[in-house]
Amino acid sequence: MQSQTVELSQERENAVRSLRAGRFLIHYGYARATESRAANEPGQDYLSLRFDDRRLVFALCDGVSLSFYGNLAARILGNSMVEWLWSQAKPLSGREKTAQALREFLGELTKEADKQIEAYSLPADLPPLVAEVLDHKRAWGSETTLVCGRLDLPDEVSPGVIMLAWLGDSRLRLWSAQGERTAELGDAFKTEQRWSTKRGIIGGEPNLFLEGLSRFGSIRRVLAYSDGLALLDSIQVALDATYLPGLIDQAGEAANSDDISVLEVMWQD
């Protein structure tokens, strides 16, 4: 199977979709906050993934609204992360080497990202005071949180591997056939962690989960979502294309609604 890439637009809602690719079953969706829809502004979240019938990589980013156009950092990092994860050799060669490679990538990416931010043109109709404030923010860069991962499914010949990494407080959960294993990720989803186009990694080193995938008994489901869908935190059951839209609508009706991006990936032996 030739690989496919999905990059969700930040300019509009993307209704929940379901698709199958080999042994993968994938659900994903995107919705802007009520305020963003009313103003016809892009959302701060960004979701991108690439997959074939045995491999899947993804990046879910939540731009920091108080930075310079956080949606820009979210899109830059999301697309670059998916490209980088896809290009890595399989299997990833151990925790320390993987962590080092990730740190180096996030540091090197600031060179090109900073150029894009510096070249970004502000809307011509902005009031002078607003433009001045934004240029001050530009000097500090555009920022985003990150949840990303790579799944290589096992087969009769070779073992599989799952690699997950994150910066910030977007959600990441995982299950095996025996139940939820999210507690193994620890209390490491910190609001102060993020990535900046100017300064790179902020608030501490990226968090990393790396584990082999056997054909039986290992992790079988991964769920990633931004904090706009925090009501999912207490839900244990697997989602589907009929249940998930209702949750997104419910979250969007809240007075403090935020952008929502969500990805669920399940696979079979």
Domain contains 232: no
Higher pLDDT, 134 or 237: 134
Arithmetic mean of pLDDT, 245-266: 84
**What's the CATH number where 148 sits?**
3.60.40.10
Q: What is the pLDDT of residue 42?
A: 95
Domain contains 9: no
Domain contains 236: no
Confidence category of residue 7, pLDDT binned at 50, 70, 90: very high
Q: What is the pLDDT of residue 244?
A: 77
Confidence category of residue 241, pLDDT binned at 50, 70, 90: low
pLDDT cut 70: percent of the chain above it: 94
Q: What is the pLDDT of residue 249?
A: 81
The torsion angles phi and psi of 223, rounded to 5 degrees, stand at: -130, 125
pLDDT at 91 > cutoff 60: no
For the chain, where are the E strands, in sequence order? 4-7, 14-21, 24-31, 45-51, 55-63, 143-152, 160-167, 171-176, 179-180, 194-196, 200-202, 207-213, 219-225, 260-267
Domain contains 198: yes
Total count of domains within the chain: 1
Higher pLDDT, 194 or 250: 194
Q: What is the pLDDT of residue 3?
A: 94
Q: How far is the C-alpha of 223 from the C-alpha of 235, rounded, in Å?
A: 11
Domain contains 245: no
Domain contains 193: yes
pLDDT at 246 > cutoff 90: no
Q: What is the pLDDT of residue 255?
A: 65
Place of tokens 């403090």: 256
pLDDT at 240 > cutoff 80: no
Q: Which domain holds residue 171?
A: 46-220
Confidence category of residue 256, pLDDT binned at 50, 70, 90: confident
| 214-238 pLDDT per residue, tens | 766 689 999 999 999 988 888 876 6
Confidence category of residue 203, pLDDT binned at 50, 70, 90: very high
Find out whether 166 and 157 touch, Cβ atoms under 8 Å: no
Arithmetic mean of pLDDT, 57-65: 97
Domain contains 251: no
Indicate the range of 45-49, 78-82, 207-211 predicted with least confidence. 207-211
Indicate the range of 25-34, 149-158, 189-198 predicted with least confidence. 149-158
Domain contains 163: yes
